[in-house]
Amino acid sequence: MIIRELLVTPIAFRDPPLLNATGVHEPLALRCVLRLVVDGGVIGLGECGGDRSQLDRLTAVAPALAGLNVLETTRVARAIDAALPGESAMGRRAAFSAIEVACLDAAGRLLGQPVVSLLGGAVRDAVPYSAYLFYKWAGHPGSTPDEWGEALDPDGIVAQARTLIDEYGFGSIKLKGGVFPPDREIAAIRALREAFPDHPLRIDPNGAWTPATGRRVAAELDGILEYLEDPSWGLDALAEVSATARMPLATNMFVNSFDTIAPAVATDAVQVILGDHHYWGGLRLSRHLGTVCETLGLGLSMHSNSHLGITLAAMTHLAAATPNLTYACDTHYPWNLADDVVKPGVLRFEGGAVPVPEGPGLGVELDPDALERQHRLYVDSGRQVRDDTGYARRFDPGYDPALPRW
C-alpha cells in the first residue's frame, strides 16, 4: 500500500471548436495523466486538468508522497498542503483531488475491489449521462469541417442532439448557452423540446445573463427545463433569479467548495449543486457532498470539463456510490473519446448510461502507446494553458468576454 513514486504526464487531445460564454475551445485540450507507483509495482491512475499551474503543483508535491499509504488519504492531503506553502485552498484541493483518485485506484487494485466499493458500494449498476450540446463551428478555421458539423441555430442544435442520442442513447439534454443573445438560445431549447418531448432539458450560460434577463428566460422556459444552470454571475445574482424562477437553479460555478454552500443556502440562491471530484477534494469528499445535499434538501448533479476515460471512470464510480445523485451527469467524453489513453472495451454507453467498470480499482487500463502519442502531441503543441478567449480573438479581435453580457 506504500507509495513509491508519482509520475505526471501532460497530454493534449483533439477538441472541436465548441463555443461558450468566454470564447471557443482550441484545437487541443490539455490534461495530466497520473501514475502512482505503489510497492510491488501496482500503478494507480488519475486524470485532471492540464494547465501549467496544475502540472506545477503536481510536480511540486510528487516527492512528498513517497512512503505514504494509499489508504491514508488524510495524511496524503496533509503532505500535499505542506508541500504547497502559499498555494490557494483551491489549488491544494485540485492537487489532492487528482492524487486521491490515483490512491483509490491503486488501493482497489491491491484489494481486488472496484473503487465504488471503497466509496461505500454501488447503489446503481450504470450511471446516466446527458447529451452535452454546444454551439459550434463546422470545423476549426483553416481545417476541413469535422464530423459533427456546424451548430449555430436551433436546427443545428437539434441535429447535434440527434447525433449524440442516436449514438449513445442519452435520455436527457444539456445545452451550453451564453453564446448568442438569449432569445436565440430560448428558440434552441424550444426546438429541442419539440424534437425530444420526453427528454429533460437544461441550459447553462455560465453567468452570461443579468439577473433581469435570467428572470425573463426562466419565465419563458417555465415548464420546459428540469433546471437552469448558472444563469447569472455570483450568488447574489442567482438569488435574484431564484426568487422568481419556478424551476430549480443549479450551479457549478458559485458553489464549488464546502465553505460556499452555506451562503447559497442562506439566500436560496440555488437548489441543485453540480459536484465535480476535481474541484471538491476527490471522490470521498464528493461522496460526502451527496450527504450534505441530502441533509440540506438540495439536488445534486455532476459537472464536467473536456476529459478522457480515466476521469469518466472516476465520475462513474463516484456517481454509482452516491444515492441522491439523481440527475444525469454531464460529460464531454463523446467530444474527445477518439484520443483516449485507456484501452477500449470497458467504458461504453448503454442507453445513455455508463456501466460501472467491474475490474479492481477504476477498472480501466492505460494504453502506454496512446499515452506516449498524446504526450508527444502536448510537447509538440507548445501549449500550456487553456485559452478559449485568446482563441476566439484570433478570429474576432474585438471579442469581449466580460460577463454578464445580456
Ligand X SMILES: O=C([O-])[C@@H](O)[C@@H](O)[C@H](O)[C@@H](O)C(=O)[O-]
Residues with a catalytic annotation lie at 176, 303
**Does the footprint of ligand X cover residue 15 (CB under 6 A)?**
no
Selected from 97, 130, 213, 252, the binder of ligand X by CB under 6 A is 252
H or E segment at 56?
helix 52-65
Instruction: Name residues contacting ligand X, limited to 160-189 (CB under 6 A).
Output: 176
- Binding ligand X (rule: CB under 6 A), the pick from 53, 267, 305, 384 is 305
Nearer to ligand X, 57 or 332 (CB): 332
Kindly state the smallest distance separating residue 306's Cβ from ligand X, in Å: 6
Nearest to 52 by CA among 400, 383, 393, 365: 383
With CB under 5 A as the rule, give the number of residues binding Mg ion.
3
Does 388 bind Mg ion (CB under 5 A)? Our answer is: no
The C-alpha atoms of residue 356 and residue 248 are separated, in whole angstroms, by: 28
SS3 5: strand
Output the smallest distance, CB 174 to ligand X, in A.
Answer: 8
Q: Are strands 201-204 and 225-229 parallel, antiparallel or unpaired?
A: parallel
CB of 361 to ligand X, least distance (A): 26
In sign, the C-alpha dihedral spanning 48, 54, 55, 59 is negative
Stretch of residues binding ligand X (CB under 6 A), selected from 146-154, 185-193, 300-308, 321-329: 300-308
Q: Does 267 bind ligand X (CB under 6 A)?
A: no
Partner in contact with 176, chosen from Mg ion, ligand X, none, beta carbon below 5 to 8 Å by kind: ligand X
State the binding partner of 136 from ligand X, Mg ion, none, CB within 5 to 8 A by kind.
none
Q: 228 to each of 106, 180, 198, 376, how far by Cα in Å?
A: 38, 17, 17, 40
CA angle (295 as vertex; 268, 265 as ends), nearest 5: 15
For residue 260, the partner it binds in ligand X, Mg ion, none, with Cβ less than 5 to 8 A by kind, is none
18 is a contact residue toward ligand X (CB under 6 A): yes
Q: Which stretch binds ligand X (CB under 6 A): 83-91, 218-226, 237-245, 301-309?
A: 301-309
8 A C-beta contact, residue 73 and residue 98 = no
Query: Residues 204-214, buried b or exposed e (16+ Cβ, 10 A)?
Result: bbbbbbbbebb
- 221-250: contacts with Mg ion (CB under 5 A): 229
In angstroms, how far is the first alpha carbon of the chain from the final one? 53
Residue that the C-alpha cell 474527445 belongs to: 336
DSSP assignment of 127-157 equals EEB-EEEE-B-SSSTTS---TT--B-SHHHH
Q: Check binding of 204 to Mg ion (CB under 5 A).
A: yes
122 or 164: whose CB is closer to ligand X?
A: 164
| 54, amino acid identity | Q
Report the nearest approach of Mg ion to the CB of residue 230 (Å): 5
- Burial track 37-59 (b if 16+ CB lie within 10 A, e otherwise): bbeeebbbbbbbbbbeebbbbbe
Q: Does 9 bind ligand X (CB under 6 A)?
A: no
Whether residue 102 contacts residue 115, with contact meaning beta carbons closer than 8 Å, is answered with no
Q: Does 136 bind ligand X (CB under 6 A)?
A: no
Residue 303 C-beta: closest distance to Mg ion, Å: 6
Give yes or no for residue 100 binding Mg ion (CB under 5 A): no
Is 276 one of the binding residues for Mg ion (CB under 5 A)? no
Per-residue mark of binding to ligand X, 24-63 (x: CB under 6 A): ----------------------------------------
CB 322 within 8 A of CB 293: no
Q: Which is nearer to ligand X, 73 or 256 (CB)?
A: 256
Q: Is 252 in the site for Mg ion (CB under 5 A)?
A: yes
Residue choice 51, 100, 105, 204 for contact with ligand X (CB under 6 A): 204
State how far Cα 105 lies from the chain centre.
19
Binding site for ligand X (CB under 6 A): 18, 20, 176, 204, 206, 252, 303-306, 330
Name the residues that contact Mg ion, by CB under 5 A: 204, 229, 252
